[in-house]
Structures are given as structure tokens and as C-alpha cells.
């Protein structure tokens, strides 16, 4: 998974950033064996949108590759 800094810099309503250290944890929580790369990317996008209350300040480019 590749992403720009806008993804970990997403801020919730308490002013807390999502953070670079939390992204690997989020990936581990997904059943990546059962999901396609597109589904994983969509799930991440939805999570970040909800986390930031749909108030993203920076771009949130995400590229997800899955090698089977």
C-alpha cells in the first residue's frame, strides 16, 4: 500500500491525527485474503473519511496493490 501524507494527517473532531503508525494496524485488521485490492482501498477511504468527519484538509491519494 502506497499513500501520500494526507492519509495519516487526517484529523478527527478531537484534533487527533490518524498517524503513520496506525495505518499498518488498520491494514492488519482487514481480511486482506478475502478482499480485492480495490475493496481494501475503498475500506481505507471510507475509514479515513469517517475518521475526519468528511473534512479532509489534504489530498488522500492511496494505491493498493495485491499480489496473489
Between the alpha carbon of residue 63 and those of residues 3, 12, 15, 16, the distances in Å are 6, 22, 26, 24
Residue 26 pLDDT: 85
Taking only the tens place, the pLDDT of each residue in 28-46 is: 887 888 899 999 999 988 9
What secondary structure letter does DSSP report for 30? Answer: S
Domain-embedded: residue 33: yes
17 vs 27, higher pLDDT? 17
Task: Judge whether residue 13 has pLDDT over 80.
Answer: yes
Residue 68 pLDDT: 73
Domain-embedded: residue 55: yes
Domain span holding position 45:
2-63
- The pTM score is 0.81
Q: How many domains does the chain have?
A: 1
Domain-embedded: residue 43: yes
Domain-embedded: residue 68: no
Amino acid at each position: 500500500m502506497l499513500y501520500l501524507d494526507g492519509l495519516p494527517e487526517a484529523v478527527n473532531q478531537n484534533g487527533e491525527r490518524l498517524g503513520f503508525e496506525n495505518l499498518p494496524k488498520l491494514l492488519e485488521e482487514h481480511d486482506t485474503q478475502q478482499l480485492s485490492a480495490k475493496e481494501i482501498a475503498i475500506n481505507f477511504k471510507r475509514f479515513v473519511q469517517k475518521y475526519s468527519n468528511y473534512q479532509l484538509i489534504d489530498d488522500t491519494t492511496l494505491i493498493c496493490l495485491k499480489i496473489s
